Amino acid sequence: MACYRSEAIVLRTWDLGEADKALTLYTKDEGKIRAAGRGARRMRSRLLAVCQPFVHGRYLFFRGRGMDSLAQGELINSYRQLREELDRMAAAAYLAELVDVLVEERDPQEELFRLLLDSFDFMVEHGPTDLLLRFFELQLMNLLGYRPRLADCAVCGTRQYVDPQFSAVKGGLLCGSCAREDPAALKISPGAWESLRCLLEGRITLVGRLRPSPTVASELGKVLRQYVDYRLARPLKSLEFLQTLQR
């Protein structure tokens, strides 16, 4: 049976049988995989610590037909704060579920792996800010090939904007004329437009420096919610809980 090693982040876990645990992980070298940790729910199991949600570790896997088997694990970062503090847990679960739902199996992207790690690190240090979630949503869409057009109209290509709007269906900004083709397009202010461009082009350190007004922050939330939801095959279980906490 072939084996492989990789760094990985645990996206989610669920019980399997009487003592086993099933995991969805995003690995640095193999992309998203599913694996079974045999006996991982036993208190003395050597796999117990590395089979927790949001853990970052080094793992040894054996390839299987439907699900791989987890043979060994070495903890790099437990991200304990993301499991013990409710607001951090809700936000981390949302980011993990986004990756789980939107990313195909066995499609490795090291940039995506690093984005998730950097977001977890930021969350531990600064908390689960709304702007961090917007940054992650936008960067994830970009890495998956859904980069929104923000420099010109996504339909006609003009850069002469009067009353611009944002369309999830058309994939970016629309001029006032083309916006008539999409009744669901959202009006966007110059401040929100510029914030989107900064978040798309910038690094995660920008999240700690950018200070959008409450109005702009609300616009960003609505625009990216629509943009992400348009690509989802099903509603996210974690989103309702996150929104309940935010309210």
Q: Which residues make Cβ contacts (< 8 Å) with residue 90, sequence separation at least 6?
A: 128, 238, 241, 242, 245
pLDDT of 242 above 70: yes
**Domain boundaries defined on the chain:** 3-77, 81-146+188-246
**Whole-structure pTM value:** 0.97
User: Given pLDDT bands bounded at 50, 70 and 90, which one contains residue 66?
Assistant: confident
Q: What percent of the chain has pLDDT over 70?
A: 100
Q: Does the fold of domain 81-146+188-246 match that of domain 3-77?
A: no
Q: What is the pLDDT of residue 139?
A: 98
Between 110 and 247, name the one with better pLDDT.
110
User: Given pLDDT bands bounded at 50, 70 and 90, which one contains residue 163?
Assistant: confident
Q: CATH homologous superfamily for 81-146+188-246? A: Recombination protein O, C-terminal domain (1.20.1440.120)
Q: CATH homologous superfamily for 3-77? A: Nucleic acid-binding proteins (2.40.50.140)
